[in-house]
Amino acid sequence: MFLPVAKRMFPGLLAVMICLIFFSSSGIKAALGSKAVYRKETGDKIVALTFDDGPDPRYTVPMLDTLKQSHTPATFFMVGNNVKAHPDIAKRIVAEGHELGNHTMTHPKLTELSPEETYTELATAQQTIIETTGIAPVFFRSPKGLTTGYAEQAAASLGMQEILWSVTIENRSATTPQEMAQRVLNKVKPGYIILLHDGRLDRSKTVEALPLLLKGLQEKGYRVVPLSQLLQWDDNDVAVYDPMDSL
């Protein structure tokens, strides 16, 4: 699903070319993915794990350790500035077989940005991730799920599908790692995209909840698959755009 790219990509020329595509009406009409996907409608008991806001050594590293020990794939939606600050962790994510997503450069509130500012946030993050890991993400998630038409168009022009989520492990109603994991297990359905966070705020409880969640999913007969695999279509599958779970 991801396309490896050379690290030396002549970023100035690339930015000009993408900008021309983004701001042309024909480019927008031809762009991939115009709506955010919340889950996959399927009869198979499969789910995808996604992480937002990293990389952060305090949380991403122990989470990667847990995923490695349990042979569990995930998708990390990374903030460009955090990739710059912790390039080794970003490279480890790729080396251990996980997928990457674009989570903007600075984690702004996209609903307050102009079209040009929105595009710059996505494009700069994309360039940073490419230069650091050699991978061009094909998934985008807006910070806090606050998306706009500008963000959807910018993501599509950069070759990304916007992804939101079905259920999140962090919620005010769940105050312990056990409650956090159980909250997801109570709500989970086939095709769900599960959201966790590995940065910005204190995510120590999420670190503790992750192995509990993985154990519970296994006991309920669910298999965790890469996001790209979850979203592979056949004639009987559809994307679902219904409201996502609240943070």
Give 39-59 pLDDT, tens digit per residue.
999 999 999 999 999 999 999
Q: Residue 199: pLDDT above 80?
A: yes
pTM for the full predicted model: 0.84
pLDDT at 88: 99
pLDDT at 239: 53
Residue 98 among the catalytic residues: no
Q: What residue spans define the domains of the chain? A: 34-233
Q: Residue 34: pLDDT above 70?
A: no
- 3-state secondary structure labels for all residues of the chain: CCEECCCCCCHHHHHHHHHHHHCCHHHHHHCCCCCCECEEECCCCEEEEEEECCCCCCCHHHHHHHHHHHCCCCEEEECHHHHHHCHHHHHHHHHCCCEEEECCCCCCCHHHCCHHHHHHHHHHHHHHHHHHHCEECCEECCHHHCCCHHHHHHHHHCCCEEECCCEECCECCECCHHHHHHHHHHHCCCCEEEEEECCCCCCHHHHHHHHHHHHHHHHCCCEECCHHHHCCCCCCCEEECCCCCCC
Separation between Cα atoms, residue 51 and residue 75, nearest integer Å? 6
Q: Residue 33: pLDDT above 60?
A: no
- Which residue of the set 107, 197, 198, 245 is catalytic? 197
pLDDT at 61: 99
When the candidates are 1.20.120.450, 3.10.20.30, 3.20.20.370, 3.40.50.880, the CATH number that belongs to 34-233 is 3.20.20.370
Residue 197 among the catalytic residues: yes
- Which residue of the set 52, 53, 56, 198 is catalytic? 52
pLDDT at 35: 83
Average pLDDT over residues 230-247: 60
